[in-house]
Amino acid sequence: MKKLLTLFTLSLLVAVLAACGGTSQGQELPEDELTIGVTAGPHEQIMEKVAEVAAEQGLTINIEVFTEYVMPNVALAEGDLDVNSFQHLPYLDNFKTDRNLDLVEVATTVNFPMGLYSSGLSDVSELQPGDKVGLPNDPTNGARALILFETAGLITLDPDAGVTASPLDIVENPFELEFIELEASQIPRQLDELAAAAINTNFAIEHGFVPTEDSIFIEPSDSPWVNVIAVRTENKDDAVVAKLIEIYQSEEVKQFIAETFKGSVVASW
């Protein structure tokens, strides 16, 4: 009898714990409310506009703001968020592979076009043999910068490198450019010491640059670094996710992005 009571108590405890889980994992998302994680800044501003439009259609969006790039994916995977919107696809793919997370992108949102900047040149054609050029030292943004240099016609990369390219993948460097890898946030401050450098949009804006006006070369809006909306794979076909995508990719939100960011952030649709 004592053994039976113990088994019953354990079963009851498991049932109570399961009932108190507090996540929506394994369930379809509710059709009238979402909790969405974003990073502070433009993603937050855009989602506030999306929430405004969504409210008119009976959908409540609760916005959770993060100041770094790790927790929005962890929180989504653990069920504390229903959706997140803050990252480009290569970052999501790397992150979910590294941490074995079952997340998937369901739509594109905006692009923060990386640009090449210079304090002394007005065009990439003015670069001279042996010039020093800067790029971010982290793998994701470093690869993005190298692809930008290639798009500008300055180098050729190993075609197999793709979005994991490193300076070791440069197969042609006709200008014999010297690539200096630096902390991304520090590149604008060291621009005077370089002939040119690839700078992420957020750091360029912080330094007072307007990417569409001040860069000497800029990414196209359809680059592989476009940002995405991500959900748990089990929720990718939920009706409320389709509704969110429709609202986000509406003409009203697109106009808001254009008027607010004036080319520093570009809608993908």
Amino acid at 144: R
pLDDT digit string, tens, across residues 12-46: 443 333 333 334 567 999 999 999 999 988 899 99
pLDDT digit string, tens, across residues 146-166: 999 999 999 999 999 988 899
Return the beta strands (E) in 26-141 as ranges: 33-39, 60-66, 83-88, 103-108, 110-111, 115-117, 132-136
CB contact set of 241 (below 8 Å; sequence gap of 6+): 29, 83, 106, 231, 235
186 or 17: which leads in pLDDT: 186
pTM of the model: 0.74
8 Å CB contact between 51 and 80: no
Least confident segment among 73-77, 91-95, 127-131? 91-95
Domains of the chain listed by start with CATH number = 32-112+224-267 (3.40.190.10), 115-218 (3.40.190.10)
pLDDT digit string, tens, across residues 100-116: 999 999 999 999 889 99
pLDDT digit string, tens, across residues 196-254: 999 988 888 888 898 889 999 998 766 778 999 999 999 999 999 999 999 999 999 99
